A = this chain, B = another copy of it.
């Protein structure tokens, strides 16, 4: 019976894996509400009933999708790179911002979880609590540490929170607002889609703002 079970599982994984793959793609594109079970199954080459059979329902499929692609994304973009103590805080902020943008803007499946996360920001589902605790909070804590160090001299927690939020807000804007930005600057030289230029700007803008905070603090103390 046990052997049978494993062998059967392999067969099941074929369809199950194809659905998880298609679900990652479709949920990333359209969000939870916008995605349809029919579209996921169509792309997976599976029958509609397969979602019920392998995952119970759309909601559970979504949770499984979050879990699965979270693992994939964090293998590709390990956050500890931005925590590398041998680098300066400024370098670490650069790495963080570049990685944070890549997570959401890259082509292909490595960015699916980042896109799911971006969707949760603006269209929260029941999965938000898990996403916050397992993905957003760790990243935000990492970012806060970098910001705290950049300001120096044990700044107030609220200052750190707000500056970190400004960094995240700028990044997310470039992910969400692409249709608007594309219309504002329809000429070809629009920055939309040029991840490197976007990253370079956010890094510079944020570093300047945070360092100014540090300088003022020093000035106050003199």
Contacts and interface: CB of A to CB of B under 8 A. Distances in A.
Interface of A: 33-34, 120-122, 124, 128-129, 132, 136-137, 140, 158, 161-163, 165-166, 168-170, 172-174, 176-177, 179-181, 183-185, 189, 191, 201-202, 204-206, 208-209, 211-213
Contacts of A183: 128-129, 132
B209 A179 contact: no
When all copies of this chain in the complex are counted, the total is 2
A166 B177 contact: no
B184 A140 contact: yes
A185 B161 contact: yes
A125 B209 CA distance: 35
A176 B209 contact: no
A141 to B, nearest CB: 9
A169 B173 contact: yes
Contact of A174 (B158, B169, B170, B177): B169
A120 B176 CA distance: 10
Given A165-B173, A169-B170, 18 more contacts: A122-B122, A128-B179, A132-B183, A136-B184, A161-B191, A162-B201, A165-B181, A166-B173, A168-B173, A169-B169, A169-B172, A169-B173, A169-B177, A170-B173, A172-B177, A208-B208, A208-B209, A208-B213
24 contacts: A33-B33, A121-B176, A121-B179, A124-B179, A128-B180, A129-B183, A132-B183, A132-B184, A136-B180, A158-B189, A162-B205, A165-B181, A168-B173, A169-B169, A169-B170, A169-B174, A170-B170, A172-B176, A172-B177, A173-B173, A204-B209, A208-B208, A209-B212, A211-B212
A208 to B, nearest CB: 3
A163 B208 CA distance: 12
A176 B136 contact: no
Contacts of A212: 208-209, 211-212
Contacts of A201: 162, 166
B180 A132 contact: yes
A183 B202 CA distance: 25
